[in-house]
Amino acid sequence: MERFILNFLPRTVGLLILIGMLSGCTTLSPQSRATTQSFDHSEALAPDPEPLAVDITPEPPADLWDRIRRELEWSYPDHPSVIAQREHYLKQAGLFDALSERANWYLYYIVEQVEARELPIELALLPIVESTLLPQSMSHRSAAGLWQIMPRTGKHLGLQQNWWYDGRLDIRDSTRAALDYLESLHSRFDGDWLLALSAYNAGETRVKRAQRANSKRGLPTDYWSLKLPRETQHYLPRLLALAQIIKDPQTHAVTLPSVANTNAFAAINVTGQVEIRTFAEQLGVDEYVLRRFNPGILRWATDPNGSSQILVPSDIAGTAMTVAESLPSLPKTQWHRYTIQPGDSLIRIAKRFDLEVSLLRAANDITGSFIRAGHTLMIPTGGDSAIVADGSRVYRASMRYTVKPGDSLYKIADRFSITISDLVAWNAIDPKAYLRPGQRLTLFPSES
């Protein structure tokens, strides 16, 4: 045992010394380590530098169709009705050229409004289905504008409609009202966009009635299972077919001319009633251009009691603001409501108020001579037919004309002793486009 202890001691002492040396190394303070090592720890102990910021936001597309294409999300089934509507589009020569030209005026604004509400981008294509992007469009049922809003629906949605102005035709007002209405329908149909769109076309009551009929028979109540009016059966497939084509134009052998991904117009504040032609002349643009941006203005001037803004091309917004500040306001026209008496005629009433018969017809949207006792007429006083703003121009009342089968720009211009260029400017129409029976035109006929 003693020998074992003696033999063991040297090894044990050596091991203890070695452990002590190692322990001493691990208990050195940071200051001690700094003095025993040759490199500086300050850089090693500093926090990691922030990584360089890399902007991975993709560049916005220059083409508006491309912007829309990137956001299309709905599934587009090859349902027989969708295929039929797709073929209907593809058979129309020049359709997408015309749509792209019109899109340059209005579609960017619509896309912006749809995105701002975080709605499906497919809704931005609805005005193409409704009106082919022609804000002057009017259906046989009197639905009007880009979004084809009925008069009663427009009033319910807060759109102003009077002799001077129709908010259903206005780009901004109609878009606001249509999207409000679509959001409301989307909520009423429990988040089903197909049913909401069907209700937009056919009416909420009719769609719910079709759902109740299917429920009683134990049938599904989704859009594809409902028995709806023929027009509504084509309506949604038309939208889906259009989205298919825009999503993949190459597959469908369609060329979509580029549409600028920028706003085409700016809103300019004006004071009082402004005559459109005078404003256009001072801006150095065609009256046609202002009419096309402001289709809600039905007459020769803005509504004296209406909006204080006019839309102008965005590239001349600065000039337009300067011009608007010095633009003279027209004398304000007063209106008198007259109740038709037994034995009255338009000629007799016009003489009584010292008016031209044509002015009386235009002010009350009368195309013939028939009037009924007990009805009322609006009588302009203050001189619609005798207001002279600049010493040279006499302002005339406008009238609304309904295009008949066989009509042409030439025939209408000749009938009312006006020029084709004026007819095009007053209605912001494409002179190369065909007039459609039932289409409503604004005219300023000669008083002679």
Q: Active-site residues: which are they?
A: 130
Q: What angle do CA 352, 354, 358 make, to 5 degrees?
A: 100
- On whether the CB atoms of residues 246 and 125 are closer than 8 A, the answer is yes
The helix, strand and coil proportions of the chain, stated in percent and rounded to the nearest 5, come to 45, 10, 45
How many angstroms separate the CA atoms of 246 and 230, rounded? 25
- On whether the CB atoms of residues 141 and 203 are closer than 8 A, the answer is no
Please count the other Cβ atoms lying within 10 Å of the Cβ belonging to residue 206: 16
User: What residues contact residue 223 under an 8 Å CB cut-off, 6+ apart?
Assistant: 192, 194, 195, 198, 236
How many angstroms separate the CA atoms of 289 and 299, rounded? 15
Please count the other Cβ atoms lying within 10 Å of the Cβ belonging to residue 347: 11
Q: Is 168 helix (H, G, I), strand (E, B) or coil?
A: coil
Q: At what angle do helices 80-90 and 230-247 cross, to 10 degrees?
A: 70
User: What residues contact residue 36 under an 8 Å CB cut-off, 6+ apart?
Assistant: 28
How does DSSP assign 304-366, residue by residue?
Answer: TTS-SEEEEEGGGHHHHHHHHHTPPPPPPPEEEEEEPPTT--HHHHHHHTT--HHHHHHHTT-
- On whether the CB atoms of residues 248 and 135 are closer than 8 A, the answer is no
How many angstroms separate the CA atoms of 367 and 292, rounded? 25
In the Cβ-directed half-sphere of 136, how many Cα atoms lie within 13 Å?
26
Q: Is 387 helix (H, G, I), strand (E, B) or coil?
A: coil
How many angstroms separate the CA atoms of 63 and 262, rounded? 9
| Pairing of the two strands 376-381 and 334-339 | antiparallel
Token pair in block for residue 411: 């025939």
Q: Is 182 helix (H, G, I), strand (E, B) or coil?
A: helix
